[in-house]
Structure 1
């Protein structure tokens, strides 16, 4: 096969095929005496596997899996696959956590919240993020904590902590700060969770799509392994 033969199946350029070989996502091609690349069905199978892995695990991990397979390190490849499934499971658990929290987003203090409120350091510690991250959320309009008049320090009340926890959960879902600010503002001002529910449905569809992509990628990768790379 020529580079054009592999490229045509996926609607990509011949240069992309060459680049994938150069980057180690495909095994090295043999060359004709005049220097032209010659690909086999194994190369075509490798390309199918790599392109299926990208939407399932991301470009970097997909490349790492193909590198490991082509270098004969199957255990490393399977470890990367396993980590991807583990991340998907964590994301599903996070989504379920957000769904369960919807009913209490607009009422009741956060557990352990002192009457005087929390400092930025205490909030960051609760969420497992840095104070710089909390400040970034504030700059994005997600958080609007009042200031202590005497010290000028931020004071995070129960509603602020609720908004911060919601922001943290949605960031895990891959949402931009701009989108999260819109959701939090609507929940904050209207007391409703329609925007959040819509965001969660979108997130659910993305997780389902990634899970299906992983199934397809597994089949493509298995076929490539069967070709004896």
Structure 2
């Protein structure tokens, strides 16, 4: 190995502000290719390892640690098909998240425009079905899909829909009329609940959209690093 191509763990670590132990751990986990050892057992890294570390850290910023590690392990075994499929899966998840965000934003606008009534006390399943012009069986199906969560009367066991469940049902009704499947509606309603209601959801949506933009840009940056690394590890390019 030419002397100029010999790198120590500390050389890789310094570039990214990591510890040398972190670099060794990445090799042990298969994120970096196995480094040759000196007769005394010291690791000898190369520019290939340096590019592997740059690629992993860039991928981690966009795809998360677990998926980035899986992509690198595939690349390090020359399984480029799997590596690229994992990248495609990450982009597809981001697109699904963006679609869900758009659906929530559109439904939220409609919900605020329609201003659904807030019941003074929990509604029965029949009363809520009448309000939405649905069959009670539809509300039960939505409950099974995780879209609405009614309470139960402790005496009779009958369903009771408090104000937040009524809100979720109105929001679900609008999404359903727009033709969205139940699993997408369940995701949208979950974001409303996580935000603490419709009002706080405005800021949550802005934060969510900003996070998606950041993730997508990180994925784009990672693609360049990965393309260079795949060129280096492509068996067809080997001398």
**TM-score using structure 1 length:** 0.75
Between 1:148-157 and 1:85-94, the stretch displaced more is 148-157
Cα distance, 1:167 vs. partner? 7.3
In structure 1, the partner of 2:233 is: 228
Q: 1:40 to 1:161 in 2, by over 3 A?
A: same
In structure 1, the partner of 2:187 is: 168
- Paired with 1:8 and 1:170, the residues of 2 have a C-alpha distance of 45
Matches within 5 A, 1:8-157: 8-105=14-111, 106-107=115-116, 113-114=134-135, 118-119=139-140, 122-125=141-144, 128-129=145-146, 145-148=150-153, 151-156=156-161
Unaligned runs of 5+ in 2: 1-6, 118-127, 176-184, 235-239
Indicate the structure (1 or 2) with the bigger Cα radius of gyration.
2
- Paired with 1:118 and 1:27, the residues of 2 have a C-alpha distance of 54
Give the superposed CA RMSD.
2.9
- Paired with 1:64 and 1:161, the residues of 2 have a C-alpha distance of 40
Unaligned runs of 5+ in 1: 135-142, 188-192
Q: Is the 8 A contact 1:113 1:158 kept in 2?
A: no
Q: 1:228 to 1:146 in 2, by over 3 A?
A: closer
* Superimposed CA distance per residue, residues 47-98 of structure 1 (whole angstroms, 9 cap, x where no aligned partner): 0000111121111111110011111111011110000010011011001001
In structure 2, the partner of 1:218 is: 223
Between 1:109-118 and 1:26-35, the stretch displaced more is 109-118
Q: 1:67 to 1:208 in 2, by over 3 A?
A: same
